[in-house]
Structure 1
Amino acid sequence: MGRLTGRTCIVTGGAGGLGSATVRRLCAEDGQVVIADIMLEPAQALAEDIRASGGDAIALHVDLGDPDSIRKLIDDTLAHYGKLEVIFNNGAATQADFLNRDGAAGDMEIEVWDTTFAVNARGTMLMIKYALPALIESGSGAIINTSSGAALLGDLARTAYAASKSAVNALTLYVAAQYGKQGVTCNVISPGMVPTAPSRANQPELIRMVERHHLTPELGYPEDIAAMVALLASDEGRFVSGQILRVDGGVSKAFAHVADNRDQFEAHVANIWGGAA
């Protein structure tokens, strides 16, 4: 038996890289998983693959920018499984052509700002709103939201995305405070850079540059985020709530100069003490 035996979970953005890795992990932990995505065909293909391997998963369409679509997702989940214990709010407006329009504040298109917040912030809130009755009824509901390191640091672009993820961080803290006594935990995962396989193969210089600023030997994989989701969704995570969990290889926890000074510092230590730092 896995840690999630008998628990029904919804993963939004479930057909994507991070979402699909999480779906597979939750199913491996014996969870019953609803793969919710605006792209239904890849979600269906993933569900079929999981069922062929002995897992329990179904695919449902959801448009996080449409309140009626979100409400229907919750209703259809309850109609199929009869209950709901876990939601992983991972869906976001991340299409490449859309993100490329998300630049500096002075150049911001109102449409980009409004759409980003409608999907990332309002969509997450509505998922929680409509799922809460079932999560409370379960007695052990778990809400896990996906944020971003972009919400915690400044950058030159992706202003709307970062601001929407800051809203998700605040929403997480408030939901944890408001519903914790009713048996619902709420946490947010702030991932570090988790490049896709094509990015690793096609952009090795970028990967090496970013790796220098992490405290771990290499960048993360979707499975690293999925492992944290599985923990928070299980009884082992029942005493964790209201947390912004930075699963980012330590990139947010060191001074920027560490990457540039590491080699020099280690050489200095070796010269004086004859050993590594």
Structure 2
Amino acid sequence: MLGLEGKAALVTGSAIGIGQSAALTLAKEGAKVMLADYNEAGAKETAAMIEKEGGVASAIFLDANDEESIRAAVKATVDQFGTIDILVNNVGVTIASKDLDVLNVDLDYWDQTMKTNLKSVLIGSREAIPYMQKNGGGSIVNTASGSGMLGDIGRTAYGTSKAGVINLTRYIATQYGSANIRCNTVSPGLILTPTAKRDMTPEVLKILGKFNALPYQGEPEDIGNAIAFLASDASKFITGQNIVVDGGLTTKNPSVDDMIELMSKQG
């Protein structure tokens, strides 16, 4: 057990996928969880799953583009559970048809992506931090992406927004560490969420999986476990870090596979 019994957590973007897995894992470890999502029905379904297993959970509608909606989610967590000890900023959007290369990316979509993916992390954190200061500490875990560390042929706005999340994490950790508030980021590689399975063809999945160091692709539970660890006192001396959970995708020299193939041909 990670010692989360009695802790109060708010998880945004928690109706499906990584956010849902994070909420389920935190609840399994004893935390009381507020699930916040634009898909309120999905968040309520996940809350019901937690309660069916004997956990404590509630759900609220969240529009990550609306500052008042974010404030309401934090306040609802405090009103429901008496405090907020853990904040998981997990909302993230990308639309490939609009998020193109630098010359062609839709500029209105660029602004929208920065607001949804990055500004929402700032607003959620600044709303939760005063409560954490009163509590004597807390843990903020932000979900970024491998796209925030590497270049790509598209998803320019998404990757840039996630790079911002990674560095905002460092600023929060630096500015509020003296109040015993930790802030870390989890950067997933390809994770087989329902959205990934729906939107990616087998050919694309094969290409992306080819470059992992491990011979399989990640599941939402892999990220949920990492988030729960960073939320807990098991990681009490870790702050300001970007924990990459990508099956070794960014570990290997990109020439490794080709060099192995070349050496096999040479006998």
Q: What TM-score, normalized to structure 1?
A: 0.91
Aligned counterparts of 1:267 and 1:199: Cα–Cα separation in 2: 35
Instruction: Tell me, yes or no, if structure 1 residue 65 matches structure 2 residue 52.
Output: no
Look up the equivalent residue of 2:28 and give its one-letter code: A
Select 2:229's aligned residue among 216, 228, 231: 231
Q: What is the CA-CA distance between 1:265 and the residue it aligns to?
A: 3.9
Look up the equivalent residue of 1:15 and give its one-letter code: A
Query: How do 1:16-27 residues align onto structure 2 when only pairs under 5 Å count?
Result: 16-27=16-27
1:83 equivalent in structure 2: 83
Aligned counterparts of 1:189 and 1:74: Cα–Cα separation in 2: 21
Q: What is the CA-CA distance between 1:173 and the residue it aligns to?
A: 0.5
1:11 equivalent in structure 2: 11
CA contact (8 A) 1:121 1:167 kept: yes
Q: What is the CA-CA distance between 1:111 and the residue it aligns to?
A: 1.2
The alignment yields a C-alpha RMSD, in angstroms, of: 1.8
In structure 2, the CA distance between the partners of 1:52 and 1:105, relative to structure 1 (3 Å rule), is same
Look up the equivalent residue of 1:4 and give its one-letter code: L
Instruction: Tell me, yes or no, if structure 1 residue 127 matches structure 2 residue 134.
Output: no
Q: What TM-score, normalized to structure 2?
A: 0.94
Tell me the secondary structure at the aligned position of residue 250 of structure 1: coil
Q: What is the CA-CA distance between 1:250 and the residue it aligns to?
A: 1.2
Select 1:195's aligned residue among 177, 192, 215: 192
CA contact (8 A) 1:89 1:127 kept: yes
CA contact (8 A) 2:9 2:77 kept: no
Select 1:163's aligned residue among 160, 166, 172: 160
Once the two structures are superposed, residues 110-158 of structure 1 have per-residue CA deviations (whole angstroms, 9 ceiling, x without a partner) of 2101100111111110000000011222223000001111111111111
Aligned counterparts of 1:192 and 1:29: Cα–Cα separation in 2: 24
Q: What is the CA-CA distance between 1:207 and the residue it aligns to?
A: 2.5
Greater Rg by CA: 1
CA contact (8 A) 1:15 1:39 kept: yes
* Range that drifts further, 27-36 or 199-208: 199-208
* Range that drifts further, 173-182 or 133-142: 133-142
2:238 equivalent in structure 1: 240
1:174 equivalent in structure 2: 171
| Percentage of pairs with the same residue | 34
Select 1:221's aligned residue among 219, 222, 242: 219
CA contact (8 A) 2:2 2:233 kept: no
* Range that drifts further, 202-211 or 20-29: 202-211
1:35 equivalent in structure 2: 35
Aligned counterparts of 1:203 and 1:2: Cα–Cα separation in 2: 37
Aligned counterparts of 1:124 and 1:239: Cα–Cα separation in 2: 22
1:208 equivalent in structure 2: 206
Aligned counterparts of 1:169 and 1:2: Cα–Cα separation in 2: 24
Q: What is the CA-CA distance between 1:263 and the residue it aligns to?
A: 4.1
Look up the equivalent residue of 2:258 and give its one-letter code: D
Q: What is the CA-CA distance between 1:206 and the residue it aligns to?
A: 2.7
Look up the equivalent residue of 1:59 and give its one-letter code: A
Look up the equivalent residue of 2:3 and give its one-letter code: R
Aligned counterparts of 2:195 and 2:178: Cα–Cα separation in 1: 44
CA contact (8 A) 2:184 2:242 kept: yes
1:92 equivalent in structure 2: 92
How many residue pairs end up in the alignment?
Answer: 266
Instruction: Tell me, yes or no, if structure 1 residue 140 matches structure 2 residue 137.
Output: yes
Tell me the secondary structure at the aligned position of residue 223 of structure 1: helix
Q: What is the CA-CA distance between 1:93 and the residue it aligns to?
A: 2.2
Look up the equivalent residue of 2:142 and give its one-letter code: N
CA contact (8 A) 1:213 1:258 kept: no
Look up the equivalent residue of 2:171 and give its one-letter code: Y
Gaps of 5+ in 1: 272-277
Q: What is the CA-CA distance between 1:209 and the residue it aligns to?
A: 2.2
1:274 equivalent in structure 2: none
Look up the equivalent residue of 2:104 and give its one-letter code: D
In structure 2, the CA distance between the partners of 1:100 and 1:78, relative to structure 1 (3 Å rule), is same
Look up the equivalent residue of 2:116 and give its one-letter code: V
Once the two structures are superposed, residues 7-64 of structure 1 have per-residue CA deviations (whole angstroms, 9 ceiling, x without a partner) of 0111100012111111111111011011110110111111112111211111111111
